Amino acid sequence: GVAPPVVSTWTCDGAGECPGSLGPVTTAVWPAATREPLVAGFDLVMLDLDGVVYVGPDAVPGAADAIARVRTAGVPVAYVTNNASRTALEVAKHLTELGMPGVSEVDVVTAAQAVARLVAEAVPAGATVLVVGGRGLHEPWAGHGLRCVDAFDDQVAAVVQGYPPDVGWRDL
């Protein structure tokens, strides 16, 4: 197995704080003598997308190779995004087009999926949710037993708003 990290806490001065910091700094350093890749010590790798896996329309150089090595080590990869405008399937297709290996819809976690889960825990089953946003924001509600609508009425139990480029003041 992977050797456990050496954990230490240090400060810049004897008073216990580093100037300009929030307090003592804790570090974890894996021993250099370990022969296994660092990823072997983890059960899952979660990657943000924009700026980590890709920048705009282009893959980050080396990202596909690094992700392939993680997968080869047997560690699952989750792609996490705070962008709710695209569906998980659209994101997975984009990642595949960029050369990321073995990506499927189930590997992607979007902000829309996360908020649908949170709202489902807060409102009664079958409740109506007013969703203002793009297709990606509309998709996950049925899987949580909630009814998604595009206009407010007295039956709306929750309102969720996300970014699509075409939302205007009338929508809000």
> Would you name the residues annotated as active-site residues?
48, 50
Q: How far apart are CA 147 and CA 129, in angstroms?
A: 6
Q: How far apart are CA 140 and CA 135, in angstroms?
A: 10
> CA angle, corner 110, sides to 99 and 55, nearest 5?
40
Q: Could you tell me which residues come within 8 angstroms of residue 47 by beta carbon, excluding any fewer than 6 positions away? A: 53, 67, 77, 78, 79, 80
- Dig out the tokens for 159 from the structure: 């309102």
Residue with tokens 């189930």: 106
66 in Cβ contact with 100 (< 8 Å)? no
